[in-house]
Amino acid sequence: MLTSGEKFNRVSLNEQVAKRLLENIRSQNKPGDRLPSEAALSKQLGVSVITLRESLSVLAHRGLIERRHGSGTYVADPAATQWVAIVTNLDLSHPNLSYFHRRVAYLLRALLADAGLRVHIYSGSATGSFSDPLNENLPQAVFEDLKLDLVRAVIALPSKSWQEFKTSGVPVVGTHPSAPLSVSLPLSGLFSSALQTMASQGCRTAALLGWNNDPAGRKSWEKELVRHNMTTRLGWTLTDLDRSDEAAGWHAFRSLWNAYKQKPDCVVITDDTLFREAALAILHERVEVPRRLRVFTHFNKGSRMIVPFHCTTFQVDPDAYAKELASLCIRIIGPKPPESKHVLVPIEILDRSAPSDQDSELPSHRRPGE
């Protein structure tokens, strides 16, 4: 029976009783066991029979128990009722979220469902990238469901969040090479590829726009600048942009472009949402691309993002990324172990031309209030 300090909140009474029931089942019963009568359970939990019955319905709806007419209530086999948890710290409903993140999450769900697996997406509240800090905005519901033995495997999408699940007792697929099982992108060589491409096109001064104020990333950028005999200036390396600012790319590009009389020969933009706003700023400043400025930016295959001028892109395929994650997850919970524990999804370097007159209309290059 509940103590006075464990009074149920009336707003979620059925859910809280269902949670307590499931905790008791997990600790006291095994699959196939018949549960005590409704009268006995309601007395044990200190709730009415009506409340108890509604809470049992909650568990039955989730496939955690089986109610047999005329026979009673039985514990279901967890292997048949558990689900794969797709965990992201991002708010997948955010209107300015990159196409990549949303596409990966929803295609993953479809691929796993096609394989006969139950799937649940746990979405957080961050609006930035998968490189957000380890614990930032991770949905806590997944940890509750892990405690209740509801999760069969975890696909942890934030880059290093797999560490939060390594003691969970279930298989975990991560998106960082440090994870025991991972699917990742070869981003470590991105700056080298970008500056090599820009240098081959005659560029000697470079600017950088990115989300993550990562000291290692900045060090890598500076190292590659020296390696390719290129230079930058104070105020041209902007990698600590505010993810809550929907116009961060607009403000950052205008800041670096107007900082000095001298202008950079090229700009590297590490995220497609940053490019979307930076492109508007480039148009607004009437920068001639590629004659006065060469642009190297992130682009997602399959997205409908308009590239309003000639630029070089590093193209990421979210479909290929999702398929590799799903394949690895299916194998780790199946009878066959995965052939490879670490998969790299390649990045393509492509030139993109400005759209022709018959292409989709370009967005306005004026921000509200300008």
Q: Residue 368, class by beta-carbon neighbours within 10 Å (0-12 exposed, 13-18 middle, 19+ buried)?
A: exposed
Final residue before a domain boundary, out of 26, 48, 78: 78
- CATH at residue 44: 1.10.10.10
Same domain, 294 and 325: no
Q: Are residues 107 and 132 in the same domain?
A: yes
Whether residue 218 sits in one domain with residue 296: yes
**DSSP sequence for 106-169:** HHHHHHHHHTT--EEEEEEEE-S-TTS-TTTT--THHHHHHHTT-EEEEEE-STTGGGGGTTSS
Tens place of pLDDT per residue across the chain (370 aa): 444 344 445 447 888 888 888 888 878 888 889 999 999 999 999 999 999 999 999 888 877 889 888 889 999 887 777 899 999 988 898 877 889 999 999 999 999 999 999 999 999 887 655 444 545 678 999 998 888 778 999 999 987 888 899 888 899 999 988 899 999 988 778 899 999 999 999 999 999 998 766 676 788 899 999 999 999 999 999 988 877 788 999 999 999 999 999 999 999 999 888 999 999 999 999 999 999 999 999 999 998 888 899 999 999 999 999 999 999 999 998 777 777 789 999 999 999 876 644 343 444 445 545 5
Q: What is the pLDDT of residue 296?
A: 96
Same domain as 206, residue 147: no
DSSP sequence for 277-303? HHHHHHHHTT--TTTT-EEEEEEETT-
Helix (H, G, I), strand (E, B), or coil: what is residue 122?
A: strand
Q: Is position 362 within any domain?
A: no
In a domain, 354, yes or no: no
Same domain, 95 and 129: yes
Q: Provide the whole-model pTM.
A: 0.76
Domain span at residue 99?
82-184+319-346
Q: Is residue 356 part of a domain?
A: no
Residues 302 and 204 in one domain: yes
Q: What is the pLDDT of residue 357?
A: 42
Number of folded domains that form the chain: 3
Whether residue 367 lies inside any domain: the answer is: no
Q: Is residue 360 part of a domain?
A: no
- Residues 29 and 123 occupy one common structural domain: no
- Does one domain contain both 125 and 197? no
The domain boundary residue, chosen from 78, 96, 125: 78
Residues 192 and 297 in one domain: yes
Task: For residues 34 and 117, state if they share a domain.
Answer: no
Domain-located, residue 364: no
Tell how strand 65-68 and strand 72-75 pair up: antiparallel
| Residue 96, domain CATH | 3.40.50.2300
Residue-level pLDDT at 218: 84
- Same domain for 201 and 222, yes or no, is yes
Partners of 68 in beta bridges: 72
Q: Answer whether residue 26 is part of any domain.
A: yes
- Residue 106 within a domain: yes
Q: What is the pLDDT of residue 125?
A: 84
What tokens were used for 305? 């993002």
